[in-house]
Amino acid sequence: MKLLRYGPAGAERPALLEQDGTVRDLSEIIADVDATSVTPEVLSRIADRDPKTLPVVAQPGRIGPCIDGVGKFICIGLNYIDHARETGNEAPIEPVVFMKATSAIVGPDDDIVQPRGSTKLDWEVELGVVIGTKAKYVAEDRALAHVAGYFLANDVSERAFQTEGTGQWTKGKSCDTFGPIGPWLVTADEISDPQNLRLWLEVDGVRRQDGTTANMIFSVARIVSYLSGLMTLHPGDVIITGTPAGVGQGMKPPVYLRPGQIVTLGIEGLGEQHQTVVADAT
């Protein structure tokens, strides 16, 4: 299934996308796409309902973040060897973990707002994972059973904030609008192999990233297992799993985003995002 949320920011409604592109409102079954509705029991209840019996959403308008009420927004850095090398790093020997503020989350086509003082605004297409069942000390061969589904993410980054000051990467990863997710939460049964998905990103129509999740250093299963040994993962927690080569920081010379530019990205089977970069007007 492809689950989504539509409507104005803060007032989104849950919906289902049929194979023919019809959007069906899910409000009769769930209040929202959130931690309470990504469990196996609720997903099964949605799947058992004949979508033809649900109201059609003729004009969904804005598409919101594909899940609401995210508990933890966990990120994996340097998880593609080509990306690690383009940024001057060696391949990590274990997953590099950092957090992104949940207040950074926005819809897939919402604007990217360049914050005050930003000079090195960058892009990163990533595969996202939604946890569906509690996971603690999970073996790698059982880790994917705890995944409710997958989504497309742009790990927007401000490189000067991230690496040129003191402290952790979180500072350059957590600004408002730095976490576009969606358009859909695609349930795990539709993704036969998360390590065989093409992902790409363009800036103003120029292809900057073009890779495959087959080149991850640490697989989704390995990441979920590893994280479950550090912290308990709960339904509604999300993980983004790293980006392939082609970020602005890695170009020679580096190239960064400017207001007015358009960022387009996608992952096979998970849809596309389209964002306009704007200056912070507050």
Structure tokens at 279: 């200056």
Are the CB atoms for 6 and 34 separated by under 8 Å? no
The predicted pLDDT at position 282 comes to 87
| Mean per-residue pLDDT, 144-152 | 98
Structure tokens at 156: 């927007």
Q: Which is more confident, 281 or 65?
A: 65
Is this structure's pTM higher than 0.85?
yes
Helices (H), 10-49: 40-48
Determine how many CB atoms are found less than 10 A away from the CB of residue 62. Answer: 14
Residues 6+ apart with CB under 8 A from 258: 114, 121, 277
Structure tokens at 19: 């194979």
As a whole number of Å, the CA-based R_g of the chain is 18
The predicted pLDDT at position 181 comes to 98
Give pairs for 144-148: CB < 8 Å, separation 24+.
Answer: 144/188, 144/194, 144/220, 144/221, 144/224, 146/224, 146/228, 146/233, 147/188, 147/220, 147/224, 148/38, 148/39, 148/40, 148/43, 148/185, 148/187, 148/188, 148/235
The predicted pLDDT at position 38 comes to 98
The predicted pLDDT at position 206 comes to 98
Burial class (CB in 10 A: 0-12, 13-18, 19+), 251: middle
| Mean per-residue pLDDT, 107-112 | 98
The predicted pLDDT at position 87 comes to 78
Run of H or E residues at 224: helix 220-228
Q: How much is the mean pLDDT over the chain?
A: 96
Structure tokens at 64: 């919101």
pLDDT band, residue 81 (cuts 50/70/90): confident
Structure tokens at 201: 């990103």
DSSP 91: P
pLDDT band, residue 88 (cuts 50/70/90): confident
The predicted pLDDT at position 104 comes to 98
Instruction: List the single range of 83-92, 155-164, 198-207, 231-240 with lowest mean pLDDT.
Output: 83-92
pLDDT band, residue 85 (cuts 50/70/90): confident
| Mean per-residue pLDDT, 242-257 | 95
* Residue-range domains of the chain with CATH: 2-53 (no CATH), 73-279 (3.90.850.10)
Structure tokens at 253: 């010379």
Q: Measure the CA–CA gap between 46 and 161, rounded to whole angstroms.
A: 42
| Mean per-residue pLDDT, 23-49 | 98
Q: Does residue 155 have a pLDDT over 80? A: yes
The predicted pLDDT at position 30 comes to 98
pLDDT band, residue 56 (cuts 50/70/90): very high
Which string of DSSP letters, residue by residue, matches 138-184? Answer: --GGGGGGGEEEEEEEE--EEHHHHHSSSS-THHHH-STT-EEB-S-
pLDDT band, residue 89 (cuts 50/70/90): confident
In this structure, the chain runs to a length of 282
Q: What is the pLDDT of residues 232-245, one digit of tens each?
A: 999 999 999 999 99
Q: Which is more confident, 35 or 82?
A: 35
The predicted pLDDT at position 248 comes to 96
Q: Does residue 167 have a pLDDT over 90? A: no
The predicted pLDDT at position 82 comes to 81
